[in-house]
Structure 1
Amino acid sequence: MANLSDVAELIPTLCGHDASAVACHCEAAGPVDTGAGASSGATSEQYEARMLTMNDDEILAIMQESAAVERQAALFRQIAIGIAVARSARTFGHGGLAAKKGHRSVTSLVQDLLGVSQAEASRQVSVSGDLVDTTGTTGLPDSVAGSGERTNGGSIPKACPPRPWFEPLRVALRAQLISNEQSNTIRKGLGEPPTMPRDTNGIPLPILIPQAVDNGVDAGTDGVPVMVEHTPTIEEADAFDQGARDAWALAAEQLIAEAQVRKINELGAHARYIRDKLDPEGAKRRFEQRYEARAFHITTVPDTGATRIIWTLDDQTALMITAAHDDALRPRRGGPRFVDSAEKAKAKALVEDPRTNAQLASDLMTDIFRAGILADAKSVFGTRQAGVRLVQVINDHGHRSDITHAEDRLIVLPGKVADQQLCDTESIHVTVDTDGNPLNLGRSKRLFTPGQKIALAIRDGGCRWTGCERPASYTEAHHIDPWESGGKTDIDRGILLCQYHHLHCHDNGWHITREGKGEFMLNHPDHPPQPLPPRAPLEYAFKDITLPGPRFRAPQPPPGQPPHARESGRASDRDSGREPTRRAAA
């Protein structure tokens, strides 16, 4: 078993540091010998004493190098767990690996060996099972490995199944391009690709497809395609299933590339957005499932007698509640500074309020309920009420996307939600090019106008500083060409930054540049330039990631609904929102 010194040898900065001048004042630590092989048997206290003398860059280097060693060690552990998963399959019965060691499942085995919780063991099994190719002898227990026979006497199938769609994740994990958590986030976010419905014998079942006429698709009497029943051939069904797997694999490759610049939460949101864009019928079904799962429970904490509320929200209610919550706490969490004097005074009072954020949020919800009962919303929100802006893509032909998403939180909704919201809200149209850049509105005033800020919010999706997760409503528009130096207040020369990063950019030698409509680049004299990709999913509207053939639809519509769902419409919100295609509504 490797000791601490063996591991230290794998961390170049730690081994190469000259600590000959270090005087350790802890007797238990003893002197630090830096000669070749001198780190044999060194204690953690000695290494701590050595590291306390290092400069900031060396400490950061050790953090990075330690993380790399940890990832490499984790890779071996994952491969081993993946093989254990295959060798513990139910088909092996009591001859499986986990069963031979006295465990009911491989999860129980992993939990015992690693000393982790059941949830963490389950996660490790899930990730590792995807990493290892279990075809061939890797799936055989020790007693029959290499024999060509299973323990039950059955022969091993010679035909290899098609590569799974998540093969790019497996390759990226082995190459250490992504971490376990990133792989798991992408896998869960994308879910499983849709398949053609079949009976138990693998024969395709009838589906609904748009009726075709001589000049294309029959638009019907109300502009909605007429759906007719069709039974695909086995070849058509196989082609659809393969095309779906290919589309999911392409999406996985895109997200692997994004994983280098996205935080886990944002990566998962992007994965779910791509999934719903590829499979709008599935998005509609998941939306309805979340709606049916809504629930409100009032319980009592036995020990204290306090009352606790457990509230499972549907998507639209969640957006409304989170918008009110975020708007109320914005001054505490770094919201924009450019507000009128009354709002400044209110924000200052909130920042100085002795209550915690959790207490403020609780009091806010109490006020909202009270306002609802009294029908006086202004007593809670004032003149500037919280709202939700939805964004939906419209292409050159006026076709609206099957899905819409919230501007501040990347929550995907069926397009019909935007249609519904348009009944009592307004929409704003923003024209963009094929790369998602809003059309320059031609403003030349000192401050960006509300219309320009909406266009920037659609393009950027929030603060674009690397690693920042502040939503668009928390940001300020930054001139990349200083106004005082002749810079224009144009969309192409503006970028959204949260208050903290806006001040950080101005006060610490950073500057942002852009060539034409290319990438925004973050620059600093002491750091290499780095791109600032947008957080919004608008770019996916133009990526060639689609399912093959017509969008197949289940033959039985939900009760009370027509057999064809209208393609959803514009945007919505308090001030409403919709998004670009060539044109976007917000």
Structure 2
Amino acid sequence: MTFLAEVASRARAVAAHDALDVEPASLPAVLRRMPDDAVVALLEEASALIGCAERLKVAAAGVVAERSAAPHGGLAGTLGHRSPVTLVQEITGGSRGEASRTVRVGAALLEGPPSAPDPHPDAEPATPVFVWHAGLRDAMLGGAVTAAQHDAIRRGLGDPAECDGAAEVWAIAAQQLVGEAPGMPVEELGKRARAVRDALDPVGAGERFAQRYAGRAFRTWTDADGVHHARIDFDDETFAWVQSITDAALRPRRGGPRFMTDLERAQADELVRDPRTNEQLAYDLMMDVLRAGALASAEDVFGARQPGVRLVVVKDAVGPRDPFGRLLAVGNLEDGGEALPGAVLDRALCDTGSVTVTVDRGGNPLDVGREQRLFSGKQRMALAVRDGGCLWPGCDRPPSYCEAHHADHWEEDHGCTDIDRGVLLCRFHHLLLHNQGWKISRDGTGPFVLHPPGGSGETVALRSKSPVRWAWDPPPDRGGWRAA
């Protein structure tokens, strides 16, 4: 199907709704009278039509950038603009950030020879050159990913490492991420791309960590109205630690897992009823931490939920060192998945030790049968490694905000407390599942499948969000890809 044919097809789908044949000002009122399924269908059809327009806009912005390369000339200059970004921003009416992304993605589409032949009869034949992100470019132009998804994958993966075969491995990683993009938030897709990049390039991960560590800073100032301010530029490790402090204290307020003892439940309810905003609570918490210092116990400040940072690493990837003795490995934060280099992992192994979680090639660890109803601490740790957070599609809650759900209900299905029958769900989606009649099933060691209430509608295969998922689900047809 040609591009114009696709645009016409998408436009006809929207135009088929006769109720929309009204003045623009009447659209909200018309939509409010439509049934739920019609409104959802229109949203999907409108998004598909916008996707076509977005591809055209991005490609045109790329050509504008290409033709604006000449200093004080070029297309943007002749129209009175300092850069193609300001020209695109003026035309589209969006923010500078949106215009920058449009130009950036458009320029990436023009890198290397085109995948399809130039339809112009006088065009010179393209010289064969391997472009690792050609598949990503074709997915964008074909409508498989949006401009935002393309940008997240392209920027997250960065450029291939300087070693033989790296470009081919990056190309496989990009294709795999394209397959994971539908239904995944752009932020999560970018995080996944960065995790893959750091797994493939541990030396580069260390260099990026060192750059951010060198940029750490703390600054305070007082403005003209006498209001005192502070700014902190964190390094990766310290940010994870501070984040764990606020999460430990505010998790009940933010929809984290329910507490089990009466005292913990009462403390959680009291926090939820606290009239302070989350920002005010976080401020008071950090001031308490500064005041307490070494004089107060952790329980005095944080209560039952202690802060802490866990790193997840594939065991057989730990060991090789460079000529300077630095560990060539990458660990990923259990919450969030951001990568930390071997130097941080080395120190953590020395200071706090490690816990081994053994999994099969599908990521399924442990089996404690039906002796206990609740998942143990080690099992929950294993679930965190395997699932990477709430498995519900589109949810971004990390493992520390999740509860373990029995795919086979304990009472109804006589389910077992086995890792291969349990999944992580955040509190909201756990309650939604039980209250609205959703169900999660699994056939053997296949994917967990989400079933809508009453068995109506399409089922959804749930995907792991773990930053080390690549360890047991490598790209196809690429043996030893991590070492390439």
Whether the TM-score (by the shorter chain) exceeds 0.5 is: yes
C-alpha deviation, 1:397, in angstroms: 10
Q: CA RMSD in A?
A: 2.9
2:392 is the counterpart of 1:465: yes
Q: Which residue of 2 aligns with 1:481?
A: 408
Task: Return 5+ residue gaps in structure 2 as ranges.
Answer: 1-6, 115-119, 321-326
| Aligned amino acid, residue 290 of structure 2 | F
2:253 is the counterpart of 1:332: yes
Does the CA-based 8 Å contact 1:433-1:439 persist in structure 2? no
Does the CA-based 8 Å contact 2:160-2:166 persist in structure 1? yes
Does the CA-based 8 Å contact 1:436-1:538 persist in structure 2? no
SS of corresponding position for 2:365: coil
| Aligned amino acid, residue 446 of structure 2 | G
Does the CA-based 8 Å contact 2:365-2:419 persist in structure 1? yes
Q: Which residue of 2 aligns with 1:289?
A: 211
C-alpha deviation, 1:134, in angstroms: 7.0
2:89 is the counterpart of 1:111: yes
Q: Which residue of 2 aligns with 1:536?
A: 466
Aligned counterparts of 2:61 and 2:112: Cα–Cα separation in 1: 12
Q: Which residue of 2 aligns with 1:10?
A: 11
Aligned counterparts of 1:296 and 1:51: Cα–Cα separation in 2: 50
SS of corresponding position for 1:430: coil
Structure 1 pair 462/498, CA: closer, same or farther in 2 (3 Å)?
A: same
| Aligned amino acid, residue 193 of structure 1 | P
**2:196 aligned residue (274, 284, 303):** 274
Q: Which residue of 2 aligns with 1:358?
A: 279
C-alpha deviation, 1:160, in angstroms: 3.0
2:381 is the counterpart of 1:381: no
2:114 is the counterpart of 1:186: no
SS of corresponding position for 1:423: helix
Where in structure 2 are the equivalents of 1:155-554 lying within 5 Å?
A: 160=127, 162-195=129-162, 240=164, 243-302=165-224, 304-372=225-293, 374=295, 376-395=297-316, 402-442=329-369, 444-485=371-412, 486-524=414-452, 525-542=455-472, 543=474
2:41 is the counterpart of 1:61: yes
Aligned counterparts of 2:199 and 2:28: Cα–Cα separation in 1: 50
Where in structure 2 are the equivalents of 1:17-36 lying within 5 Å?
A: 17=18, 19=19
Structure 1 pair 385/548, CA: closer, same or farther in 2 (3 Å)?
A: closer
SS of corresponding position for 1:177: coil
Greater gyration radius: 1
1:432-477 superposed Cα distances (whole Å, 9 cap, x missing partner): 1112222324463111111111111111111111111111111111
1:238-257 superposed Cα distances (whole Å, 9 cap, x missing partner): xx2xx221111111101111
Q: Which has the higher helix share?
A: 2
Does the CA-based 8 Å contact 2:319-2:328 persist in structure 1? no
| Aligned amino acid, residue 473 of structure 1 | S
Aligned counterparts of 1:383 and 1:482: Cα–Cα separation in 2: 28
Structure 1 pair 75/397, CA: closer, same or farther in 2 (3 Å)?
A: closer
C-alpha deviation, 1:79, in angstroms: 1.7
Q: Which residue of 1 aligns with 2:117?
A: none
Aligned counterparts of 2:331 and 2:347: Cα–Cα separation in 1: 12
Aligned counterparts of 2:271 and 2:145: Cα–Cα separation in 1: 41
The alignment-based identity, stated in percent, is 44
Aligned counterparts of 1:135 and 1:462: Cα–Cα separation in 2: 40
Does the CA-based 8 Å contact 2:202-2:341 persist in structure 1? yes
Equivalent pairs, count: 462
C-alpha deviation, 1:547, in angstroms: 9.0
| Aligned amino acid, residue 228 of structure 2 | T
Aligned counterparts of 1:324 and 1:548: Cα–Cα separation in 2: 37
SS of corresponding position for 1:465: coil
C-alpha deviation, 1:7, in angstroms: 10
C-alpha deviation, 1:291, in angstroms: 0.8
1:184-238 superposed Cα distances (whole Å, 9 cap, x missing partner): 1111111111226xxxxxxxxxxxxxxxxxxxxxxxxxxxxxxxxxxxxxxxxxx
| Aligned amino acid, residue 470 of structure 2 | Y
| Aligned amino acid, residue 94 of structure 2 | V
Does the CA-based 8 Å contact 1:269-1:410 persist in structure 2? yes
SS of corresponding position for 2:352: coil
Structure 1 pair 547/420, CA: closer, same or farther in 2 (3 Å)?
A: same
SS of corresponding position for 1:89: coil
Aligned counterparts of 2:379 and 2:341: Cα–Cα separation in 1: 26
Aligned counterparts of 1:9 and 1:281: Cα–Cα separation in 2: 46
Structure 1 pair 538/193, CA: closer, same or farther in 2 (3 Å)?
A: same
Does the CA-based 8 Å contact 2:373-2:417 persist in structure 1? yes
Please report the TM-score for the alignment, with normalisation by the length of structure 1.
0.73
SS of corresponding position for 1:272: helix
Does the CA-based 8 Å contact 2:249-2:305 persist in structure 1? no
2:71 is the counterpart of 1:71: no
2:68 is the counterpart of 1:88: yes
Please report the TM-score for the alignment, with normalisation by the length of structure 2.
0.88
Higher relative contact order (CA 8 A, sep 6+): 1
